[in-house]
Structures are given as structure tokens and as C-alpha cells.
Amino acid sequence: MKIYMNGDLVDAADAKVSVFDHGLLYGDGIFEGIRLYKCCVYKLEEHLDRLEKSAKAILLKLPWSLEEIAEAVCQTCRANELVDGYIRLVVTRGVGTLGLSHLSCNDPQLIIIADKITLYPEEFYTNGLKIITSPTRRINPAALAPMVKSLNYLNNILAKADANQAGCLEAIMLNDQGYVAECTGDNIFIRHKDTWFTPPTSAGALRGITRGAVLDLMDELGYKWVESNLTRYDIWTADEMFLTGTAAEVIPVVDVDTRVIGDGKPGEQTHRLLEAFHQQVSTDGRMIR
Ligand code: PXG
């Protein structure tokens, strides 16, 4: 496997970062998780737009144009002869001295890994996920904006560990006011009657690219949706539920905190959205060659 590192394609065994990189020392950096479908980098522009905003928010000046990064992404996919895959784009603050200050770092590192992805096992797309609410709260947006896709994922990792310890694959994270924010790596949608609800990003959710794509599909399919603060009660009493994410795509949820959602089977609208999503993934993006 070839890894892109600052302009070079190197063997995975040789793809190494310095122990003085603030990405490693402090989680100081940003990333994107992107999908490649049939040689098409899905919504590459949207991912690069989010990367640019994350960089701006953490005062990291990207020394490459977005077009240079886009070409590097495509080049890495080509070098690995990928047709379908998962692209992990990482920008670290780079090497600096010990100490938190970002000012000691002036050489950000661009790393691109293009690999295969293990989705949730297929059975969960057919039968739906059982999830829990994590006791680990989503970090306060005033402390670290959840819109920034930073290398600080310990908050989410601990909530994911709560899920795993409970025998689940995902967990709902509440914000510090007790409203639903998102799952550890996925956005949340529920349906009550004829309307879909998803928490606003101000509740502590990442502005997911898949979330945005699904909202567009809902418009096309004529499904009503609103952004709204949601409680656990709203989730438990929903008629239908699914999660969205680059890795997960659209995955049904049938049980939350041992409360059965709807009739305990993935909903019809969820299936239609997943179908519609699959239809557009290999056309809505940038071809790698
Ligand atoms: N919320 C969080 C906290 C995320 O990290 C999403 C929602 C869904 O957003 P997208 O844009 O993917 O629809 C994410 C997604 C990885 C990795 O290893 C990436 C994510 C989650 C977990 C792992 O690349 N990001």
C-alpha cells in the first residue's frame, strides 16, 4: 500500500511521523473521512470545504490549495489501484517544540491513506442496529466546536467504548444540556409520523456530509424534515430511526436503551433513502482519472 506524505507516495512501512509532531503530542490537527465509489471520490468538494473551515477554526494555515489536495487524494487512490474504498485525509500541525503553543509549528503535514473499509456487517443493514445512550456527554461546543473535525476524538472514543462494553456498535451522545447531539461517528435521524427530525449542529453535532446528502434526498423524495433539539424520550418513542456517516452510509436503528423503535424492523423510508443514496454515490463527486 502506498501512503501520500507531503507530496511523496511511500510504502506503508515507511510512512512515519515525528514524535515531535503536535498531531501526535496533543491531537493538534484535523482530518476527513471520504469514500471512493466506482473511482468517484464522493462529495470531495464538500469534504475539502469542511477541511478548510476546520483548519481556519484551529488557526492552521493550509500551505496547499484545495485543488492540490484534491489532486493528491485522486493520485493516492490511483497509486493503490482502488475502485471502491475509504480515504483518510489527515493534516497535523507538524513538528514543534514540547509545549502546547501552535506557534512553534510551521510545517503542517498532509497524510492521505486510501484503503478498504469494513462497514457494519451486512446483517445490520437488513435487521437494524441496537444502540444505547452513552453516559459520556458530548464535549461542550464552547470548549471545542463539534463542527471542527479535529484529531481530538477521545470524547467520542470513550463513548464508543461505553457502547462496546454494553455489547453495542454505536452510542448516542447527549450534550451538556441533556439533548441528543449525535452518535460517536454518525449523525442521527428519527421519524415521528410524517416528519423526520435531526439535531441541529448547535446541539453538538458534526455537520455530516452524509447528513446533508440525506436531507437533499428527503427533499427529492418529498419527505418533510426539521432540525430540532431532541430528548431521549423523543428517540424512544420514534416511529423510525437511522444513522448517517461516511463509513456507515445510512444504517437503520431498531432498539435504543432496550426500547424498541417502531415495530422493531428497519423502516420503509429508511430503505428508500438508502437505495436513493446508493444510486447517487458514484456520480456525485470527482472521478480519479
Ligand atoms: N459525527 C462525527 C463525530 C463524525 O466523526 C460523522 C458524524 C458523520 O459525518 P460524515 O461527514 O462522515 O457524514 C462523523 C464522521 C474515521 C472516522 O476513522 C470518521 C468519522 C467517524 C468515525 C471514524 O475516518 N467521521
User: What are the tens digits of pLDDT across the range 1-54?
Assistant: 999 999 999 999 999 999 999 999 999 999 999 999 999 999 999 999 999 999
207: pLDDT confidence band, cut at 50, 70 and 90? very high
Q: Quick one: pLDDT at residue 127?
A: 97
User: What are the tens digits of pLDDT across the range 257-280?
Assistant: 999 999 999 999 999 999 999 999
215 or 283: whose pLDDT is higher?
215
CATH class as words, domain 122-280: alpha beta
Query: Closest Cα to atom 12, ligand 1: which residue?
Result: 246
Euclidean distance between CA atoms 100 and 9, whole angstroms: 30
User: What are the tens digits of pLDDT across the range 188-206?
Assistant: 999 999 999 999 999 999 9
User: What are the tens digits of pLDDT across the range 213-266?
Assistant: 999 999 999 999 999 999 999 999 999 999 999 999 999 999 999 999 999 999
Euclidean distance between CA atoms 10 and 1, whole angstroms: 8
| CATH 3.30.470.10 correct for 2-115 | yes
Euclidean distance between CA atoms 5 and 14, whole angstroms: 10
3-state secondary structure the chain: CEEEECCEEEEHHHCCCCCCEHHHHHCCEEEEEEEEECCEEECHHHHHHHHHHHHHHCCCCCCCCHHHHHHHHHHHHHHCCCCCEEEEEEEECCECCCCCCHHHCCCCEEEEEEECCCCCCHHHHHHCEEEEECCCCCCCCCCCCCCCCECCCHHHHHHHHHHHHCCCCCEEEECCCCCEEEECCCEEEEEECCEEEECCHHHCCCCCHHHHHHHHHHHHHCCEEEECCCCHHHHHCCCEEEEEECCCEEEEEEEECCEECCCCCCCHHHHHHHHHHHHHCCCCEEECC
289: pLDDT confidence band, cut at 50, 70 and 90? confident
Q: Quick one: pLDDT at residue 119?
A: 75
Q: Quick one: pLDDT at residue 79?
A: 97
Q: How many whole angstroms from 79 Cα to the centroid of ligand 1? A: 25
Query: Where in the chain are the domains?
Result: 2-115, 122-280
User: What are the tens digits of pLDDT across the range 94-108?
Assistant: 999 999 999 999 999
Res. 282: pLDDT tops 90: no
Query: Closest Cα to atom 20, ligand 1: which residue?
Result: 185
User: What are the tens digits of pLDDT across the range 102-152?
Assistant: 999 999 999 999 999 877 899 999 999 999 999 999 999 999 999 999 999
Q: How many whole angstroms from 220 Cα to the centroid of ligand 1? A: 24
**Other Cβ atoms closer than 10 A to 154:** 11
Catalytic residues: 149
